[in-house]
A and B are shown apart, each in its own frame.
Chain A
């Protein structure tokens, strides 16, 4: 079974660069303020979600294991 993730974006930091949306469009979507929202943490593989987080230019994306609470990014 796939690992369940908790994914969120810090809106004090997000600048709407939208690279996360490009890398994992089913997981991240820009809201009406053009800031990213993690709309579906099951929308892509763990690898893709971590790739999106790593490519955030301002490190606004946080990823945790939903069951264990283990921090996967940053």
Chain B
């Protein structure tokens, strides 16, 4: 067990550069017991792929079945709020195992097929154009605030069929829901405030779609309630999941991808030669190189041995995309940002039966943003080299990304 790697995954260094820390674990102790947070850290591509494809061994019902408390620690007076969070999160369809998970996924799966999501491309193109028009008029932009954050909210609000005037409120709620992946000691009141606000906001929309279904996503979930697959609480919570899952992840793809381009001028130059033609593989490389999600948790469904380590039933396990996507056994020169890399078997969207439902939508949004940036702002540059990330082990989130183009 001779590893000397320290176990605090929230230090400034690890948050700033997860690739160094988790990369070292991948090389030295790929199935690592983190004593501080009492969980297994899985870092190799081969193991992450295997683990995510063996859903019967690794449960996704983390919030319902993990008897331990929140981590990092929360204020003791907020323990009641954490129970609320567990109950809320536990009703997300992604927090279920088969056979229930399959019944739930089948309700929503058809809405997100690659073909169905392609039909959203014109809407995305137009939304990107409007946001960049506004930025151009202003003469400068924070990619985070002015492009990456509003874009997914526009798309999701349209999918949910919420009125345009409600979008700022939906965005405000989404900001609060993002605290689920954060480490602040006092995060629970903000988070539960967002959750309660979501339930209140979505509830009348569901009432309406039950009676008058449309072609929106809430109607799809409501059809699941009619079929007896979802309870009302699950319909509400899964609407909220769409907002959260489709929001933070897309923000990170846009910001981290833009940053990768601007930190690698030769790749940016290569991309600009043919933005439309290169968008597909360049976006895949952005997803690999600086993935929006760093890690995901499971619980061991039984005692299981992996690489000579024995995991016990109900042990917490976190698998790290950030290290798997830089695994030298799979990717040549893994730390090089190479927009022509093909094939690119990154695990940014996971694998197996829980593979990200919104993957195609994220790809469409990423492709259209990078295309538009290259075509409209070929001289794009980072305004400041000083970058700050949210203290999360789930998300790889910049706090802001100011850019200039004059």
Contact = CB atoms under 8 A, between A and B. Distances in A.
Interface string A21-63: 0100000000001100000000000000000001111110000
Contacts of B351: 15-16
Given A12-B345, A34-B54, A55 B113 contact: yes
Given A34-B53, A34-B352, A57-B357, A19 B109 contact: yes
A12 B359 contact: no
B81 interface: no
Nearest to B116: A54
B58 to A, nearest CB: 13
B343 interface: yes
A45 B296 CA distance: 38
Interface residues of B, number: 23
B122 interface: no
A54 B119 CA distance: 14
A22 B102 contact: yes
Given A16-B53, A22-B106, A57 B352 contact: no
Contacts of A56: 114
A18 B359 contact: no
Contacts of A17: 352-353, 355
A58 B355 CA distance: 10
Interface residues of A, number: 16
B352 A15 contact: yes
B349 interface: yes
B114 A57 contact: yes
A3 to B, nearest CB: 21
A16 B110 CA distance: 17
Contacts of B112: 57
Contacts of B54: 34
B114 A59 contact: yes
A17 B105 CA distance: 11
A54 B359 CA distance: 15
A16 B106 CA distance: 16
Interface in B171-206: none
B157 to A, nearest CB: 23
B307 interface: no
Interface in B23-56: 53-54
Given A17-B352, A17-B355, A54 B345 contact: no
A10 B114 CA distance: 16
Nearest to B354: A17
A63 B106 CA distance: 22
Given A34-B54, A55-B113, A59-B114, A18 B353 contact: yes
Contacts of A22: 102, 106
B53 A57 contact: no
A26 B133 CA distance: 52
A18 B115 contact: no
Nearest to A55: B113
B363 to A, nearest CB: 10
Contacts of B355: 15-17, 57-58
Interface centre among B54, B105, B355 (most CB of A within 10 A): B355
A15 to B, nearest CB: 5
Interface in B329-357: 343, 345, 349-353, 355-357
A56 B110 CA distance: 10
A9 B350 CA distance: 19
Contacts of A59: 114
B47 to A, nearest CB: 13
Query: Max chain B CB contacts within 10 Å: which of A12, A15, A33, A58?
Result: A15
30 contacts: A12-B343, A15-B349, A15-B350, A15-B355, A16-B53, A16-B352, A16-B353, A17-B352, A17-B353, A18-B352, A19-B109, A22-B102, A22-B106, A33-B53, A34-B53, A34-B54, A54-B113, A55-B109, A55-B110, A55-B113, A56-B114, A57-B109, A57-B113, A57-B114, A57-B355, A57-B357, A57-B359, A57-B360, A58-B114, A59-B114
Interface of B: 53-54, 102, 105-106, 109-110, 112-115, 343, 345, 349-353, 355-357, 359-360
Given A57-B114, A59-B114, 4 more contacts: A16-B351, A22-B106, A55-B109, A57-B109
> Which 8 residue pairs of A and B lie closest in terms of their CB atoms, listed nearest first?
A34-B53, A16-B53, A12-B343, A17-B355, A15-B351, A15-B355, A16-B352, A59-B114
